[in-house]
Structure 1
Amino acid sequence: MSAQRSETLSHKERLLRQGMEYFYAYGYHGTTIDALLEASGAPKGSFYHHFGSKEAFGKAVLNRYMQYQLNLLRKWVTGNPELATSEKLTGYFNEMVDRFIGSEFQRACLAGKFSTEVSATSESFRTQLGADMREWRKHLLSALEEGQERGDVRRDRQAGDLADAALALIQGAFVVALSSRDVESLAAISATIPLLVDAPAGSVSNTCRPDA
């Protein structure tokens, strides 16, 4: 964060932005409060006034990340009515991939990163992560149910099963890519989303004609 930009931000905002950067770079356990304070220029009193503890701060950063993630998904699902459902979900995933590669393979999925690092040792973190994943799944489910009604999403599987599979596919892709940095594996996941979601050829026209 540049000094010029940080001067215009509140202490709370500086801390949240620095926390996002450091949690991606160093993980939850590798990030210290002292390092956050030094990098953000915020006083220690502001940190404890706004957050109270490192765990509460981590959950605040996670909440901000999930807001970003769900807004991105909504942008693709509701902002592109001309696209088929699989195209919306593929576009969403590809934008995540572009951000990940553009960050030199640092900014994958913060929820996934926290899930593997802290959910086993912090019940309150695990509870929030579980709620976040359910909310993420709910948004995917809504898009898939709408696609089934429109006829471009397969109907031989429940929309809930497809939502579970899509979320696991996205999460797993970035967990693997964090260590492998394999762009081709991410491209393979992108190509797999339509195979998971799309209705068989010809089924769209049939669902549009109930008497067919």
Structure 2
Amino acid sequence: MVAAMKTNQRLDKRDLILAKGAEVMTRRGYHGAGVQEIVQAAGVPKGSFYHYFASKEDFAVQALQQVYEPRLQRYAQALANAALSPRQRIVAYYAELVEHFARQEKLEYHCFIGSLSFEMAELSPTLGAQVDAILQRSADILQQCLEQAQAAGELAADEDCANLASFVANAWQGALTRLKVSNSTRALDDFMLRLQRLLRA
């Protein structure tokens, strides 16, 4: 019982460092976020960081997994919602995200995976591979839903669902980048208009 409690405490501390550190790294970028700033945000001594992570790069790899695993699960659940048709699931999911940004008084978008992509993909093959794997899993989830839409007659029989999933996923990332630099939801609105047209039967 005591051993189990100690194990849970260790996991809780690791999760705390990952959560708080990911927030710091999202705001400041990989290079702008030092280990000292990460442990201060988590309220733990610096030695705790190196107890759980071999390096800042190791931390970033694990943080990516912690941040995006639940997001990918939510994405998969939304695109498997049997109450809606496959096409409706996709459109509704992205429409909800666009509405989320539109409701903000001050448009802000800080993307953990986007920041690491720009800063570290070339400098760290390990981080680059992790980022690519997460983005590919997202595209794979979308592809499965597109294939269901195709089977239901909501997409043309000759549509390349893998290519379409890749295009939509990349277009969404690009729209989010424009959101960040332009402080306007116009790119997201354009994305939604084009997505709806792409998914017409």
Q: Is the 8 A contact 1:100 1:108 kept in 2?
A: no
2:22 and 2:160 mapped to 1: Cα distance?
36
| Matching of residues 1-212 of structure 1 within 5 Å | 10-79=12-81, 81-98=82-99, 100=101, 102=104, 104-199=106-201
Moved more, 51-60 or 99-108: 99-108
Identity %: 27
Moved more, 61-70 or 85-94: 85-94
Q: Is the 8 A contact 2:108 2:183 kept in 1?
A: no
CA RMSD, 1 decimal: 2.1
1:52 and 1:98 mapped to 2: Cα distance?
40
**Unmatched runs of 5 consecutive residues or more in structure 1:** 1-8, 200-212
Q: Is the 8 A contact 1:99 1:107 kept in 2?
A: no
1:100 and 1:123 mapped to 2: Cα distance?
32
- Greater helix percent: which structure? 2
2:105 and 2:156 mapped to 1: Cα distance?
35
Q: Is the 8 A contact 1:97 1:186 kept in 2?
A: yes
Residue type matched to 1:48 in 2?
Y
Structure 1 residues 113 and 155: CA distance shift in structure 2, 3 A: farther
TM-score by length of 1: 0.80
1:104, distance to aligned residue in structure 2 (A):
4.7
2:83 and 2:38 mapped to 1: Cα distance?
44
1:27, distance to aligned residue in structure 2 (A):
1.3
1:197 and 1:164 mapped to 2: Cα distance?
14
Residue type matched to 2:90 in 1?
L
1:92, distance to aligned residue in structure 2 (A):
2.1
Q: Is the 8 A contact 1:94 1:190 kept in 2?
A: yes
Task: Give per-residue Cα distances to partners, 1:132-172, cap 9 Å, x unaligned.
Answer: 22211111111111111111123342111111111111111
**Unmatched runs of 5 consecutive residues or more in structure 2:** 1-10
Q: Is the 8 A contact 2:16 2:42 kept in 1?
A: yes
1:105, distance to aligned residue in structure 2 (A):
4.1
Task: Give per-residue Cα distances to partners, 1:111-142, cap 9 Å, x unaligned.
Answer: 22221121021111111122222211111111
